[in-house]
Structure formats: C-alpha cells, structure tokens
Amino acid sequence: MNFGLHVSAAGGVANAPDNAKAFGCETFQFFTRSPRGGAAPKLTPATVNTFKAKCAVAGFSHYYVHAPYFVNFASTDNRIYHGSISIVREELERSSRLGVTALMTHIGSAKELTRDEALTKVVDGVIKLLTGYKGSAQFLLEISAGAGNVIGDTFEEIAEIIRRAQPKVKTEIGVCFDTAHAFASGYDLRTRKNVYDVVRKFDAIIGLDRLVVIHGNDSKVDINERRDRHWHIGQGKIGLEGFRAIINHPKLKKIDMILETPDDSDNGSWDKKNMAAVKKLRQ
C-alpha cells in the first residue's frame, strides 16, 4: 500500500507534485480548481507537461483528483444538478490530460425527494456525466458519512447506483472508500476481525474489483454518529488497531491510501505525523 496526502495546488497544479514530494508522499491527491466554486484555471500544454515531468521525476505513477465539494447529483435545483454533471465531466477531462489515475466525487444530498427518487436522479446524472466520455481518468463514487439525507452512505446504495448506471456507459465506475465516512455510517473498523468483516461485506455487495483508492482518516465521532469529522491517525475512534488491519489486509495491499486528516499548523507538522503513523503500521 502506498500512502499520500491531499496536497495544495495553490499557484498552479504543477506545484502539487512538489508539495507531495516535500511530505514524503508515495502518491497524492489534489484539486485542479477551487473546491468552493469559480472557473477552473486553464491547463496550458506547458502546465500539463511541467506537471507530468515533475510527477515522473518524483516517481509518482498514481495520483488522484477530488471533485469540488458543491457537487450534488441529487439536487432538485437544475442549476446545481446540471452544473454538477458539467463540472465533474470537465474535471474528468482535465484529469485525463494530467495523467491522473482517478477522480472521486461526493454524490450529494436529497432534501426534497424520496430515497428512490433521489437514487434515480443520481443514476441519471452519472449516466449523463459519463456518456461519450473517452478519457483515461476513472470516475469514482465516494462513500459518504451519512449525515442528513446524504446519498451513498451504505454499500447497498453505492452498488445500486453502479448496477443501474454501468450498463449504460462504457467507462468503468469505481469506488473510493473513506474510512471515517464508513465508520460514521456504521461500518466498524476498530479491530482486525471487524475490518475483515467489512472487507468481505464490501466484496459481496460492491466487489473489490471496484475499489480504486482508500481515504485513510480516523474519526473524531463514534461509530454510526453519521457526521463527517476526520481526525488524526490512531487518535480518533477507529484507532491504530483498525488502521493496522486495513493497511496490511492482503486484499488491500495494492490499493493506494490518501490521508485527508486535518492540519491547522503553519508547517504541516500534523501531515508529517500522520504520514509517519501510517508508514509505521505498514508491515
């Protein structure tokens, strides 16, 4: 298992590989645009070439992009719904130009729809998004923390979206497993036995062949509290035993892990501590 951080691309995407290398990352994740909104910075041929060259020099063969936070495939507001489809498609195309392995997105929240109506809207959005897409960056659905009416907080919902959308598109739909989100949604990751049970359940319902990347985050909230609160590795409610089991699980060893743990320090000291923590657990 290779480890990385979500790193800053402030000043241009070509800075992301430098920032990842500075933290000792073996892989990394970044935004190609502001996660809060606004137009995406232009990717010139020179920018793309510089980014790829820096990745090659640093030895990064896999790296990932996170879609903006405002994406909502279950929104009843057409501006948000169609904007989400358009922006994620644009991000997939941009990611492909950069040689990115995969792009993950939060699915969204259904405030005014029944669960079945929301799932249908999400499926339709995913199909629209991927219709005609021929890029190399894979599209991933990220498991959510289950707060409010968020879609995709269970393996069954993720599997249902894929089951209904995959036959209508050519590109393979994958999954991003976030440990903090899954834990907050009721999947117990605190012991080796529990981790193995969750992995078996994931395989039976979704399929491990769909799992592309893991977001490795401890949880500040307890199991099934249904809130998205990332915390430092080994210092949250999941704990070191759970992360040791995840990192060394024989069926997960070839999956990259990206840390999205908080870091309010000026020098990135918490990012360094969290990277050291997961590397120490690797056997």
The 10s digit of each residue's pLDDT in 50-78 is 999 999 999 999 999 999 999 999 999 99
Asked if 111 and 150 count as a contact pair (C-beta separation under 8 A), the reply is no
Distance CA 174, CA 130 (A): 12
Q: Give the residue-averaged pLDDT of 109-138.
A: 96
Number of independent structural domains in the chain: 1
Q: Write out pLDDT tens, residues 238-282.
A: 999 999 999 999 999 999 999 999 987 878 899 999 999 999 999
pLDDT at 147: 81
Q: How far is CA 3 from CA 69, 71, 151, 215, in A?
A: 23, 26, 27, 10
pLDDT band at residue 140, thresholds of 50, 70 and 90?
very high
Q: Write out pLDDT tens, residues 171-189.
A: 999 999 999 999 999 999 9
pLDDT at 73: 97
pLDDT at 105: 98
pLDDT band at residue 37, thresholds of 50, 70 and 90?
confident
Residue type, 206: I
Q: Which phi and psi angles does 54 have, rounded to 5°?
A: -65, -40
pLDDT at 202: 98
Predicted TM-score (pTM) of the model is: 0.96
pLDDT at 39: 87
What is the extent of the structural domain holding 45? 3-281
Q: Give the residue-averaged pLDDT of 195-217.
A: 98
pLDDT at 29: 98
227: left (phi over 0), alpha (psi -120 to 50) or beta: beta
Query: Which domain CATH number covers 150?
Result: 3.20.20.150
Q: Give the residue-averaged pLDDT of 75-102.
A: 97
Q: Give the residue-averaged pLDDT of 229-244.
A: 97
